Amino acid sequence: MGNEVNCTVTQGGGTSAGRALLETSEIIFRGEDVRFKIPFSSIRELRAHDGALHLRTKDGRFTFHLGARAEKWREKIANPKSLIDKLGVKGGESVTLIGRFPSEFGASLQEHGATLATPKASAAPHWIFFAADSCEDLADVKRVARSVRGTTALWIVYPKGQKHIREADVRSSGLAAGLTDIKVTSFSPSHTALKFVLPRAKR
């Protein structure tokens, strides 16, 4: 995946080898001897030069040796996508929300020109967002999946880093409903979203 790469990082005169992950709002680095996160909001200086991404925070200077990816990462950090863009929703498309979502999420969808449709609408929506806070909630995925027709996409949004509902549980519920998972992304600091669609043969 383009946003995850093996690299070396220079910090405070020392260099560590590990794996860097470019998330929606932060960089995560996991090395053999050091692990850290750098929120985009903490970055005070940012530039790319000769295959290296240079940045400065209150904790010091960091140099990620990324090769050809350095400029792409700089661009993504400097101009991060909005949540709605990242999820793929475009103006004029219909969206159905099932479960509890922050009111600002619905407002952002409408600001981007999307139309909020009720779960009982006769026409299949372009997008369905289903909030699952526990494995018990996942029991409804098969019912929700009946509204996935043609190119409709289902995003299941669930708490991240929790033992009572794991990515494996969410994926299993979608597969059991006859869907295929194609993408995972961060929905918020506390939640992750997993995207499902119909297999190509059934669209």
Task: Give the chain's length.
Answer: 203
How far, CA to CA in Å, does 201 sit from each of 60, 76, 172?
52, 35, 20
Predicted pLDDT of residue 1: 42
Helices marked H in 23-137 — which ranges? 69-78, 83-87, 103-111
pLDDT computed for residue 32 by the predictor: 86
- Reported as a single tens digit per residue, the pLDDT across 109-166 is 999 999 998 887 667 899 999 999 999 999 999 999 999 999 999 999 999 989 999 9
What is the topology classification, in CATH, of domain 4-78? PH-domain like (2.30.29)
Q: What is the pLDDT of residue 48?
A: 97
What mean pLDDT comes out for the span 44-62?
A: 96
In three-state secondary structure terms, 85 is: helix
| Overall fold of domain 83-202 | Rossmann fold (3.40.50)
Pairing of strands 94-98, 60-65: unpaired
Using pLDDT thresholds of 50, 70 and 90, give the confidence band for residue 23.
confident
Q: CB-hemisphere CA count at 13 Å for 54?
A: 7
Give the model's pLDDT for residue 126. 95
Q: Note the pLDDT of residue 121.
A: 67
- The residue extents of the domains of the chain are 4-78, 83-202
Closest CA to 130 of 161, 165, 164: 165
- Helices and strands, counts by H and E, the chain: 5, 13
Phi-psi region of 177 (alpha: psi -120 to 50; beta: other; left: phi over 0): alpha
Longest dimension (CA), the chain: 62
pLDDT at 81: 84
Percent of the chain clearing pLDDT 70 (strictly above): 98
* Range scoring the smallest mean pLDDT among 23-27, 103-107, 160-164, 193-197: 23-27
